[in-house]
Amino acid sequence: MPNRTDASLARRMVRARAARVSALLLGGLFIGFLLLVVVFIEYRRAIDWIDHTHKVISAVEELQSTLSDAESGQRGYLLSLDPRQLVPYEEGRERSRALLDRLRSLTADNPVQQDKVTALRSLTADRLDRMAELLRQADEAGVAWAPAPVREGIGANMMAEIRRMTATMRADEDLLLAGRSRHATILELLMIAYGIVFVTVTGWLCFSTVRRLERDYQAERAEGEVLAATLQENRILLDEVNHRVKNSLQIVANLLRTQAMRHRSEEVRQELLDSSSRVLAIAEVHRRLYGEGAVYDTVELTDLIRSIAENAVPPTGGAEPSMTLATGAPLSAPVDTAVPVALIVNELLTNSYKHAFPDGRRGRVTVDMAVAGNEVRIDVADDGIGLPEEVAGNSGGGFGLNTARNLTRQLRGRLEIERLTPGTRFLLTFPMKPPAPTQA
């Protein structure tokens, strides 16, 4: 038992330590999960900034392309004075203004780019105004003058400045894009690394927990098998001991009965027979308590009283009184109730058979047991000559009747004696307490 106790204590300590480690790991995983959420949010912001930078670059490239289209349309009109050439020019004018507004909105977080957008807006406005002025002059001067501005390259310097400005903005945005892409890549690698660590730690934690539970289960199963085997051995030993105790009690009862048959004194003979009857009553309880299929802590009271009543009939072989037994439904009682009840019923029946029917008188003895609520009532009556008035009192009678009164007080019950015409009635009433579970 000490070894099993030490093993159980060691197992509990290991479980407690494992529980603390698991709690720390779970706490770390939870904190790591929160960090992962923060990193993921930051990663999403980095991706949004990358998309934002791409939009700025796309707007800058589109602005440059739109201005080039507008310039090509204006040049085509100057060379041919074909009104259809003005379509891309007009579209370019409107589109360039919209793109400049979009660039101002997209670069609102970058003061440096805002300054460049302002300068670009001024250059674009000057270039568009210059293109409009050339178109007006071409309309006034006619076909002969219109190709002259194209050959002279009027406005080329302005477009070169616009291209230089857009190239600078594009270069700045490319630098921002590279930094933001690098930041997003680092965050992505962090998430991947943490995901690998999270899966690894979680898998190891689950695996170690399952292994620990399996080891605990195997250890407890082995311990349970040892305990079951020990309990079975103890049960076999207990059955053997109780079987010998029961046999010993029967031997004692037989010895008392044999001694009674050999004794010359009638009074001593009767006392020995009464003692033998009491020992047999205890042996009957013992037999039922530890017999085959017994539960070792309760006795079936109905069958016990039936056996006590049958054994109490004197083996005279003559015209002994008849017996009537009514015990009702089965009732289980704890052993500390069954033994006093068996002795009391034995004493009452012995008293009836001994004193109620002298000189071979015929008669009838009845035993009735009933349960009313939490109380048990056992009624033993006869139609014999009846008890003397002084015996029916609270303290009258011999050893057997006083023994019944003492056992009744042990049961916290009451024993009422009633004189009938003819006969005597004994009414035993006691509370039935629930059986206490055994330690086994």
Of residues 75 and 177, more confidently modeled: 177
Of residues 229 and 291, more confidently modeled: 229
d(CA 285, CA 8): 39
pLDDT in tens, 27-78: 877 887 788 788 888 888 888 888 888 888 888 888 888 888 887 887 777 7
Q: What phi and psi values does residue 379 have, to the nearest 5 degrees?
A: -110, 115
Instruction: Name the least confident of 82-86, 117-121, 301-305, 422-426.
Output: 82-86
Longest alpha-carbon distance in the chain: 174
Mean pLDDT of 191-213: 81
DSSP state of 314: -
DSSP state of 343: H
Burial class (CB in 10 A: 0-12, 13-18, 19+), 347: buried
Is residue 121's pLDDT more than 50? yes
Of residues 115 and 293, more confidently modeled: 115
Provide the percentage of residues in the chain whose pLDDT is more than 90. 2
Confidence of residue 393 (pLDDT cuts 50, 70, 90): low
- Which stretch, 145-149, 329-333, 338-342, 358-362, has highest mean pLDDT? 338-342
pLDDT in tens, 306-321: 888 888 777 654 556 7
Query: What pLDDT does 157 receive?
Result: 73
CB 430 within 8 A of CB 376: yes
CB 323 within 8 A of CB 365: yes
Give the position of tokens 């015209």.
319
**b/e 84-110 (16+ beta carbons within 10 angstroms → b):** ebbebbeebbebbbebbebbeebbeeb
Helices (H), 142-155: 147-152
Instruction: Name the least confident of 65-79, 331-345, 391-405.
Output: 391-405
pLDDT in tens, 348-387: 888 888 777 877 778 888 888 888 888 899 999 888 887 7
| Domains of the chain in sequence order | 2-218 (1.20.120.1730), 298-431 (3.30.565.10)
Query: What pLDDT does 273 receive?
Result: 76
d(CA 348, CA 341): 11
d(CA 390, CA 396): 6
Confidence of residue 439 (pLDDT cuts 50, 70, 90): very low
Mean pLDDT of 138-152: 56
Is residue 440's pLDDT more than 50? no
- The two structure tokens encoding residue 263: 């004794």
Confidence of residue 429 (pLDDT cuts 50, 70, 90): very high
Is residue 399's pLDDT more than 60? yes
d(CA 96, CA 186): 37
3-class DSSP assignment, residue 236: helix
Residue 126 vs residues 63, 123, 129, 157, 162: alpha-carbon distances, Å: 15, 5, 5, 12, 10
Query: What pLDDT does 295 receive?
Result: 53
Residue 239 vs residues 281, 294, 341, 342, 355: alpha-carbon distances, Å: 19, 10, 24, 22, 39
Is residue 140's pLDDT more than 50? yes
